[in-house]
Amino acid sequence: MGKEEEDAWVVMKTARAPSNIAVIKYWGKRDEKLILPINSSISVTLDPEHLSATTTVAASPAFERDRLWLNGKEVSVEGERYRNCLREMRARATDVVIESSGKVITKEVWSTLHIHIASENNFPTAAGLASSAAGFACLVYSLAQLMNVKEKYEGELTAIARLGSGSACRSLYGGFVKWNMGQEADGKDSIATQLAEQSHWEDLVIIIAVVSSRQKETSSTSGMQESVKTSPLLKYRAEEMVPKRIGQMEKAIKSMDFAEFARITCADSNQFHATCLDTSPPIFYLNDSSRRLIGLVERWNRHAGEPQVAYTFDAGPNAVMFAKNKEVAVQLLKRLLYQFPPSAEADLSRYVLGDQSVLKSAGVTSLEDIDSLSAPAEFAGVINLPRIPGEIDYLICTSAGKGASVLDGQIASLLDPATGLLVKNE
């Protein structure tokens, strides 16, 4: 009985961490195990309201092994990336007092406790929207809360998140974040730092176009391995181009220079995809729909005489677009709805997700409103511009957002506080 009672306690924490989108791209590792990149990168943290992972971590002497549930399904936690994150966090655990009993979980106890993890995204995992970045950032952040881990140096947690997924290190902070490639062999200095809070540049609006794709894509892990091995242009890019662009981008963000921000963002996205094409065999992430999205933005920017919108594409066909301000975002959304109408059977509320205020300002409340949108001025004279309903799966209106944070209360918890097992949602 005494033993049973002693084993009955479960401690848990729930946190949320955002996804992020790189504006100076990370592509290529110099160390596969420690996930050390061949160049620094810069990202914008996406509003966790729309794109984030929520993770509950729990510990109990009753747990017999580490367990992991992703989006409601139990999966193996034996992967090296999970093991590395758990090992590093356990090694940094400090005393935690159990509220109910006043008992203390010491560092020594932590090293014996098994962990249950449940994580889910508030956006489709398969959409290619950096779910692993949000997921690993959230795992490390929630474990830090659970185990009372204090950073010995600023960014220590980001270096641990990096062991899970390179770009995860950028998801701990909000706003504008830089991942310094670092120099050390152990990766200690390959950490993320915040360049600016999201409130620094509040005008920016982000619209994501999730492209319908039937094509199986090369995973970014194997893709970047192949590029490092075979693309001479990637080596040149990492060594000669990126260092310059990092400096220019930091400056553009600091001074909120949208034209410069747009110029570098688009050029760097295109250059990253150029190095994919320079890989043997070549890797294609952009498809004809991506190309039409780029065309829409480039045409408009040229017509306007200065950049209104910037685009960037990760390892997939989806476009992440930055509009200069809310007014431009409304115009962008109208253009997107004009050229990429939803399919006839679509539901508008499932076609435009996220922040509904952009759609509202566009005056679009029904599919009929989309049908009656008129062609933007710069479309005049453009031939062979297909408007294929359903070419895009859906749009997400969002903005830069805050970093990882604790979710208070039991409501958000993904694990049962009594058993530490997955809460089944009906």
Closest separation in Å from C-beta 22 to its own copies = 17
Closest separation in Å from C-beta 307 to its own copies = 11
What three-state secondary structure class fits 423? coil
Applying CB under 8 A, among 109, 233, 304, 373 the residue interacting with its own copies is 233
Applying CB under 8 A, among 38, 205, 211, 294 the residue interacting with its own copies is 294
Applying CB under 8 A, among 280, 325, 365, 410 the residue interacting with its own copies is 280
Of the pair 287, 361, the CB lying nearest its own copies is at 287
Applying CB under 8 A, among 125, 148, 203, 241 the residue interacting with its own copies is 241
Applying CB under 8 A, among 65, 214, 349, 424 the residue interacting with its own copies is 214
Q: Is 116 near its own copies (CB under 8 A)?
A: no
Q: Which among 20-28, 175-183, 198-206, 260-268 is the span making contact with its own copies, rule CB under 8 A?
A: 260-268
Closest separation in Å from C-beta 287 to its own copies = 6
DSSP secondary structure letter of residue 352: E
Of the pair 384, 425, the CB lying nearest its own copies is at 384
Q: Is 274 near its own copies (CB under 8 A)?
A: yes
Residue 392: which of 206, 213, 216 has the closest Cα?
213
Applying CB under 8 A, among 14, 54, 121, 271 the residue interacting with its own copies is 271
Of the pair 259, 348, the CB lying nearest its own copies is at 259
Closest separation in Å from C-beta 278 to its own copies = 4
* CA quadruple 408, 412, 416, 420: dihedral sign: negative
Distance between CA atoms of 55 and 363, rounded to whole angstroms? 37
* Site track 356-395 with its own copies (rule: CB under 8 A), x = hit: ---------------------------xx-x---------
Closest separation in Å from C-beta 125 to its own copies = 18
Residue 283: which of 218, 193, 239 has the closest Cα?
218
Distance between CA atoms of 29 and 35, rounded to whole angstroms? 6
Q: How far apart are the first and last CA of the chain?
A: 35
Q: Is 232 near its own copies (CB under 8 A)?
A: yes
| The amino acid at 17 | A
- The per-residue DSSP string of 32-96 comes to TTTTEESS-EEEEEBPTTTSEEEEEEEEETT--S-EEEETTEEE---SHHHHHHHHHHHHT---E
Residues 6+ apart with CB under 8 A from 166: 26, 29, 35, 37, 179
Residue 66: which of 31, 34, 112 has the closest Cα?
112
Plot region of 49 (φ>0 → left; ψ -120 to 50 → alpha; else → beta) = alpha
Q: Which among 16-24, 128-136, 294-302, 396-404 is the span making contact with its own copies, rule CB under 8 A?
A: 294-302
Distance between CA atoms of 363 and 384, rounded to whole angstroms? 28
Residue 314: which of 383, 229, 219, 396 has the closest Cα?
219
**Structure tokens that stand for 83 in this block:** 């093991």
Q: Is 247 near its own copies (CB under 8 A)?
A: no
| The amino acid at 210 | V
Applying CB under 8 A, among 237, 324, 335, 402 the residue interacting with its own copies is 237
Applying CB under 8 A, among 66, 298, 369, 378 the residue interacting with its own copies is 298
Closest separation in Å from C-beta 261 to its own copies = 14
**Structure tokens that stand for 79 in this block:** 């992967």
Of the pair 219, 365, the CB lying nearest its own copies is at 219
Of the pair 149, 210, the CB lying nearest its own copies is at 210
Question: Applying CB under 8 A, which residues contact its own copies?
Answer: 214-216, 232-233, 236-237, 240-241, 263, 266-267, 270-271, 273-275, 277-282, 284, 287-288, 291, 294, 298, 302, 383-384, 386
